[in-house]
Amino acid sequence: MDPVRIRLADPGQGPRSIPEELRRRFPDRLEELEAALAAGLVVTADGRPVTDATRRRRGMDVWTYREPAPEVAVPGELAVLHRDERVLVVDKPHFLATTPRAGHVTETALVRARRDLGPDELAPAHRLDRLTAGVLLFTTDPAYRAAYQDLFATRRVRKTYLAVAPAPEGTARVRERSSRIVKTRGVLQAAEVDGEADAHSRITLLDRRDDQLGLYRLEPTTGRTHQLRVHMNALGTPILGDDLYPSIRQVTPGDFSDPLQLLAESIEFTDPVTGETRRFRTRRGLEAWETGVVPHSPGRVDPA
């Protein structure tokens, strides 16, 4: 986990002692703060532990590590697909967030990778939704971080996904969806709205079973939030295990029995350092397709 930066008030405003200022600003975390101060885990920019004798300067920051709340362990291994001096490619399991956010901190791909695989300078070049499994690329050296992140930001990475969803009689083998997608802060679902399209997906039905379920390959050429889930739902074939589309459904915390049947199958790009073509592919599968049994969580109910 990265340390938290705390910007101090300018000298002359508030207590002169840095610990006293921190105690005043964080009264709800006093026990944790006192423990961090005693352990030397509150430090200045040059890494020196903060004490009552540490002098405060204008524009000064201090840094500390916050003790995360206990989290339910997410099942599944963060398997290594490839590693070299510039990148680490892993196979992320379902339910594991890419980076710390809200209630997911230690149970994230970034923290697991730093803890188990190292180094501490690991950083994601892109992100996968928490519910999506599959190929995820980290940079291992900060000197190359921007180059690989820019590949994804400028859409120079070809990404393919696999999904299991309904495939009624008459479903076309190839469908395309272009629309404008908006995700509003505080609203769980993203929505298609009027306006110029900013999201495009190509959807290919690879196989179909007698129970009218299909295995699809999804190829997004853009990267809007929840894009594939929104487009599959808009076409009348929502992805199995989706808690948001077509309707929001509650899930019992810690219930991992009904994973979203969406898998980041592969990424392919021209390496920004060597110029070679690189392709990484998942070794995972989708439970609903491999077993022929649609998972269902008894703890999931429609909200009142």
Determine the Cα–Cα distance for residues 122 and 110; give it in Å rounded to an integer.
7
Which residue of the set 2, 10, 120, 129 is catalytic?
129
∠ CA 116-121-122, nearest 5°, is 60
Between CA 102 and CA 130 the distance in angstroms is 12
Residue 144 backbone dihedrals phi, psi, to 5 degrees:
-105, 0
Please tell me the distance from the alpha carbon of residue 140 to that of residue 148, in angstroms, as a whole number: 11
Contact by Cβ (8 Å): 81, 32: no
Annotated catalytic residue 52: no
* Bridge partner list, 123: 139
143 is written with which tokens? 């000197």
Which residues are known to be catalytic?
129
